[in-house]
Structure 1
Amino acid sequence: MKSALTFILLFIFTKIAFAQPDVKLPVFSINGKKADPISFLAIDPESIQKLNILKPEKAKAYGKYASKYGAVLIELKKGVKLISLSELLKIYSIEATAIDLPLVFSYGFSTDRLPVTSPKSFYVANSAIQSVGIKAANLKEKRCLFIVRKMMDEKPKSKFAVEIASLYKLFYEVADFYYPKQDVIIVGK
């Protein structure tokens, strides 16, 4: 009986301590491409030309998930190039197989995590990226693809500042972190 109780408590603790948050983010579309939500964090807010946040009842045209959680439609300013993860790897001369590694998207130093639905739908604005590389913190850790975003003002001066701040807040609530310049987000596997 005692060992069964210990097992149950250990199981419950493990589930609580290591579970990822149940992500309920809206569908994101950037320049007409369905994008992983983390892609929003990988663009400079100052590069946004249009931003439209649709409530679930008005987002039905974007699919079943959008009709439940809403949609965010973003159009970037002319000249801002949106690139895929595979294109980003080519730009930084990183082996193409790195696309299969776990992906860490970082603002800075912390280790808060937020899952990405698919690296294939992860897009960035290259102008927002500081560096890309493959690394492991020590010999016991698995290698990962590490993308560091340039530091940006956490209160953008964009005409969409209120909307952007509310979207950042949504990410912070989901991931349970509140300082955007000090966070790391694990994406992929």
Structure 2
Amino acid sequence: MPFAGPNTLSTEPLEGGIEIDEAQYQAGLEALAAGLHISIENGFAIVDPPPPAEAPPPPPPTLEQRRDQRRDEVRARRWAVEMGGVEIAPGVIVRTDEGSQAKITGAVQLFGADPTLEAIDWEAQPGVWTTIDRETVTAIGIAVGRHVQAAFSRSRALHEAIAAAPDIETLEAIDIETGWS
């Protein structure tokens, strides 16, 4: 005579199990092979498997892991500020993405290398052309350089504050959104 227990079949008696007939035994074998379960709570029954247990929540990050995360947040914020442009006069925004920084640096170097050069043509914004002289290029170069340096200086100060934070509460209180020029 076959027997069934919780999600178990046997041809030998099972402790806590029940006796079943041959048809139930065959149905049980097919059910187990199909990934179903056997219940004996109220007699023999083939049931759906229980839902998977919820994974426990991950442990909270350690102080050092959270410091790493905060440093990454500061780097992302610094990059956004650096690339976001600088206002050199009311309503006059100079782009500061990497390509613009390189072109401005090149223009400053060109004027420095060629004392006979008086002005250059410049596309200030897509489709907006202007002619700029040595003094203007130098002023733009200084403004962009200071803008980039200010972003790095703020980033450094935040990195130092993150390193000095003695606990997660202090670390979380560090405001990385303000203080950028």
Q: TM-score range by the shorter chain?
A: under 0.3
What is the TM-score of this pair, normalised by structure 1?
0.27
- TM-score where L is the length of structure 2: 0.28
**Structure with more helix by fraction:** 2
Q: Which has the higher strand share?
A: 1
